Amino acid sequence: MLGLGRYQDAMADIDKALALNPKIPIRILRATILSSLGRSEEALAEADRAMADPSSPPETRFLRAKIRASAGRNADARDDLNALIAVHPKPEYYLTRAKLSPASAQAERMSDLNEALKLDPRMVDALMMRAANAIEMKTFDRAEADIAAAEKLKPGLSRPLLLRSELLERQGKLKEALAILDSVIAKYPDDAQALNGRCWFKATTRISAETALADCNAALKLAPNSPAILDSLAFVKLREGKFEDAIVDYDAALKLAPKLPASLFGRGVAHLRKGERDVGMADIAAARSLSPDIESRFAGFGVELTEHASAVSTTR
């Protein structure tokens, strides 16, 4: 039932089993189903009940960490992962903890990814995440090596190609970067991540910017609840001077991911352009606290704050 996505039926079966024997160790499975159904508070309570059993295996704590993370309880999730790593480190524990690191903790995230790959050098998810982090840290040789390793392990996978495009963009090789994005989308026309990547590329580089909105809209149809896509869509509208529309999309992105630095900064800029200085600067301050280099990143896109803060350029 669960494997088929029939969560309600699976829940009914679990409840029947627990009614017959409350000590059956399946409460963490029930918690996972509740989390999948969006019933976060019930899922968290059930996961705690599962952990109350002194005989619960390490997998129970790991599943609780993931349930806590999906509910936005990152600090609690990290507590579980710290406890697991202290006793019996596994690559998936390090990878999950790396995913929970804030944007400002690049070195901490890299350390966890290095540990994961020491334990499992063929862990493609860790290789790709380390490559993405290396691009952010401008250690391009590290990124190139990890992308190449991921491509060798999983030939034809779109994600390493998208990372290669991002790497080329950061190196100023814009035509080559766009060519890769075009090739990925030609091969995988329903890849929302690729469409979003091309939308963001076009909007931030001003190359074929007139088709950026179409790419974002196509991506959003495929993944309507993606904060990354909503953020890209909002940036396109910010660029076009449609500040109210941009704020609506940034609001939607931040509802799904409240600590997304790019959305906070972009929304702040949109508010400033509307003359709403206090609320705009509050967003910008929050973005800076999460990502100290966010302002320089946006400046690279041609979106700059002047010394007076309320005067913002969105041209390049």
- Does residue 29 form part of some domain? yes
- Does residue 257 form part of some domain? yes
What does the DSSP 8-state code read for residue 41?
A: H
How confident is the model at residue 3, as a pLDDT?
47
Percent of the chain exceeding pLDDT 90 equals 71
315 with 219, same domain? yes
How confident is the model at residue 244, as a pLDDT?
97
pLDDT grade for 263, boundaries at 50, 70 and 90: very high
What is 85-107 written as a DSSP string? Answer: HHHS--HHHHHHHHHTS-TT-HH
The last residue of a domain, from among 47, 68, 93: 93
How confident is the model at residue 307, as a pLDDT?
44
Percent of the chain exceeding pLDDT 70 equals 89
- Does residue 39 form part of some domain? yes
- Does residue 197 form part of some domain? no
The 10s digit of each residue's pLDDT in 106-137 is 899 999 999 999 999 999 999 999 999 999 88
Distances (CA, A) of 49 to 27, 28, 58, 154: 7, 8, 15, 39
The CATH number of whichever domain residue 292 belongs to comes to: 1.25.40.10
The tally of domains found in the chain comes to 3
Q: Is the pLDDT of residue 308 over 60?
A: no
- Does residue 98 form part of some domain? no
127 with 221, same domain? no
- CB distance 188 to 156 below 8 Å: no
- Does residue 198 form part of some domain? no
Measure the CA–CA gap between 261 and 269, rounded to whole angstroms.
12
How confident is the model at residue 104, as a pLDDT?
74
Closest alpha carbon to 272 in 231, 304, 316 = 304
CA 33, 78, 37: angle at the middle one, nearest 5? 15
How confident is the model at residue 20, as a pLDDT?
67
The larger pLDDT score, comparing residue 7 to residue 223, is at 223
How confident is the model at residue 29, as a pLDDT?
82
- Does residue 32 form part of some domain? yes
How confident is the model at residue 4, as a pLDDT?
43
Least confident interval from 181-195, 234-248, 284-298:
284-298
Please give the mean pLDDT across all residues of the chain. Answer: 89
The 10s digit of each residue's pLDDT in 276-306 is 999 999 999 999 998 888 999 899 999 988 6
Range of the domain at 290: 203-316
Q: Is the pLDDT of residue 310 over 60?
A: no
121 with 162, same domain? yes
88 with 138, same domain? no
How confident is the model at residue 8, as a pLDDT?
65
First to last CA, the chain: 54
- Does residue 266 form part of some domain? yes
Measure the CA–CA gap between 69 and 239, rounded to whole angstroms.
33
The CATH number of whichever domain residue 21 belongs to comes to: 1.25.40
Q: Is the pLDDT of residue 93 over 60?
A: yes
237 with 134, same domain? no
Phi/psi class of residue 49: alpha, beta or left (left: φ > 0; alpha: ψ in -120 to 50)?
alpha
> Has this prediction a pTM greater than 0.85?
no
61 with 9, same domain? yes
295 with 220, same domain? yes
207 with 284, same domain? yes
